Chains A and B, each alone.
Chain A
């Protein structure tokens, strides 16, 4: 008797699951073209497949800069609304977005230009490809500053590190890593000062270049250790305000609510936001309006015309 009941429950569960799977399947089939985008690998990309939109989490500086520059964020009558598609996949770091896009043919995402690698392809916006040159001369429109957030009571070692970043040597490293230098006529580094540990934390977009700067600085000043940890821009800035880190790093401008806490923002580099797609995606040129449409959900398939 008991065995029959267990068997009956098991069969019922299996049937329930298959019904749910069936519902899910029909919904996704109307969106994608089923086997179209899977069968032809590489040779022809199916432009009728629906776009898999990947965005960053709320506290990301890259996200704030992106939604402001593309118009996805609207300001009307004193109200600010982020119109990003609610069903967009949210990934918590630059690397996670790259992994997500490289694994999914129909995906689109945005990352720091300096973090670009060859597992994904980039999209030209209004005919301009994202490179260091186009960011520098302003023809590539989606770019934002890397800022460090510091309080006035910096330790000697931390202040020395900041001086290094803004010196000619520091800015040279910034340029080598694929970002745009921002200090005009940077002076040579004055010399090592201070000792101890300097804690730096914040944006996952800024962290790679910050780690290179830390490495180079530690060679010049052997008495100082620089620790870089990664979270996101807003976390980095609030940690700097609370004193948990000495220097907060953000991939956007500091907000008014952050500067009133006694923080000063200093630009250390300029970085483009590259829009990335899977390497097998053949749609590699779009207008800024189309990009906005994709991220607000008004454009749902890759037929951009």
Chain B
């Protein structure tokens, strides 16, 4: 009797796991079946490297290179601004923070994680855009504003995962370094943090994934012009914004071009994950 119960529960868990795999498989299938023919129709190089996106012209142009660059620039900006702050905060929270302060900071960060992205977008539009306009010039919408906003948005992700990683390092590492005569700061940065490297890296990858997929907040502050950004104050459009702004009414080839844009986004995320897997393995070998 117990054997059957075991088998049945195993089956239930297997089904649950299969649901996730099925979901990913279906999404991949939908994207590739609809997107690849579109890329072939437009011409792969015209699509990926073309610099003009004008679907309502006759004849229409579907070049998404400016959008690919836009997504990359904004994500890079968010990473440069957000990752150092996030990792430093995580190390502080884990190793240096007094208990009373921790009780204030941790809920604040969790709250930050729960704010809907549209609210971030409004905050960006009403506070960040005038700030950037008055401090740096230009009209306030652009790569810099979007990067700052995205950096704030990915902070909670990076902080939570990195903090768990640093907390998970056995105390013996820290005590060992202290015993060898290192100061507290030296012990943390030379013994504890390297041991938590893979966890911190995982947090960073999650943050990057969120930044590249962020749509609503970015649409409200990035300017959405279909040009290749030439400075950090230049207006820019990301792949996600492109899909959202036009999907509602796109028909025929236009719609397929947008699905193909989704394929490109998918591939970009795959590449990022692969890169990090390679970097992580290299670290382990050392």
Query: What 0/1 pattern do residues 136 to 150 of B give for CB contact below 8 A with A?
Result: 111111001000000
Query: What 0/1 pattern do residues 217 to 249 of B give for CB contact below 8 A with A?
Result: 001100111110011111101000000011011
Q: Determine if B233 and A89 form an interchain contact, defined as CB atoms under 8 angstroms apart.
A: no
The CA-CA distance from A79 to B59 in the complex, in Å, is 6
| Residues in chain B near residue A20, CB distance under 8 A | 231-232
- Which of B103-111, B125-133, B167-175 lies at the binding interface? B125-133
| Residues in chain B near residue A58, CB distance under 8 A | 55-56, 245-246
Q: Determine if B246 and A32 form an interchain contact, defined as CB atoms under 8 angstroms apart.
A: no
A78 within 8 A of B: yes
Q: How many A-B residue pairs have CB under 8 A?
A: 120
Query: What 0/1 pattern do residues 135 to 150 of A give for CB contact below 8 A with B?
Result: 0000000000000000
Q: How far is the CB of B221 from chain A (nearest CB, A)?
A: 10
| Residues in chain A near residue B141, CB distance under 8 A | 89
B11 within 8 A of A: no
Which chain B residue has the least Cβ–Cβ distance from A233? Answer: B249
A175 within 8 A of B: no
Tell me the chain A residues, 209-249 only, with Cβ under 8 Å from chain B. Answer: 231-232, 234-235, 237-238
Which chain B residue has the least Cβ–Cβ distance from A96? Answer: B220
Q: How far is the CB of B214 from chain A (nearest CB, A)?
A: 16
A44 within 8 A of B: no
Q: Determine if A29 and B55 form an interchain contact, defined as CB atoms under 8 angstroms apart.
A: no
Q: Determine if B233 and A238 form an interchain contact, defined as CB atoms under 8 angstroms apart.
A: no
A82 within 8 A of B: yes
Q: State whether A235 and B231 are in contact (beta carbons under 8 Å apart), knowing that A2-B190, A32-B137 are contacts in the complex.
A: no
Which chain B residue has the least Cβ–Cβ distance from A27? Answer: B231
Q: Determine if B194 and A238 form an interchain contact, defined as CB atoms under 8 angstroms apart.
A: no
The CA-CA distance from A81 to B54 in the complex, in Å, is 8
| Residues in chain B near residue A88, CB distance under 8 A | 225
Which chain A residue has the least Cβ–Cβ distance from B193? Answer: A2
Q: State whether A104 and B223 are in contact (beta carbons under 8 Å apart), knowing that A2-B189, A24-B233, A79-B59 are contacts in the complex.
A: no
The CA-CA distance from A221 to B139 in the complex, in Å, is 48
A43 within 8 A of B: no
Q: Determine if A24 and B144 form an interchain contact, defined as CB atoms under 8 angstroms apart.
A: yes
In the complex, which of the residues A16, A17, A38, A238 contacts B251, with contact meaning CB atoms closer than 8 Å? Answer: A238
B116 within 8 A of A: no
Q: State whether A92 and B245 are in contact (beta carbons under 8 Å apart), knowing that A78-B58, A81-B57, A82-B57 are contacts in the complex.
A: yes
Q: Determine if A82 and B56 form an interchain contact, defined as CB atoms under 8 angstroms apart.
A: yes
The CA-CA distance from A17 to B224 in the complex, in Å, is 23
The CA-CA distance from A99 to B234 in the complex, in Å, is 20
| Residues in chain B near residue A21, CB distance under 8 A | 136, 144, 232
| Residues in chain B near residue A92, CB distance under 8 A | 219, 245
B41 within 8 A of A: no
Most chain B CB within 10 A, of A87, A92, A237, is at A87
Q: List 27 A-B contacts (CB under 8 A).
A: A2-B193, A3-B189, A21-B232, A23-B231, A24-B138, A25-B137, A28-B136, A32-B137, A32-B138, A52-B139, A58-B245, A59-B245, A59-B246, A64-B56, A80-B56, A80-B57, A81-B54, A82-B54, A86-B225, A89-B139, A89-B225, A90-B223, A90-B225, A90-B245, A107-B139, A235-B249, A237-B249
Beyond contacts A92-B245, A257-B251: 20 other A-B pairs, Cβ-Cβ < 8 A, are: A9-B84, A20-B231, A20-B232, A21-B232, A25-B136, A25-B137, A32-B138, A38-B134, A57-B224, A59-B249, A64-B56, A79-B59, A82-B54, A103-B129, A104-B133, A107-B139, A231-B249, A232-B249, A234-B248, A235-B249
Interface residues of B (CB under 8 A from A): 54-59, 80-81, 84, 125, 129-130, 133-134, 136-141, 144, 185-186, 189-190, 193-194, 219-220, 223-227, 230-235, 237, 245-246, 248-249, 251
Query: Which 3 interchain pairs have the tightest Cβ spacing?
Result: A234-B249, A28-B137, A235-B248
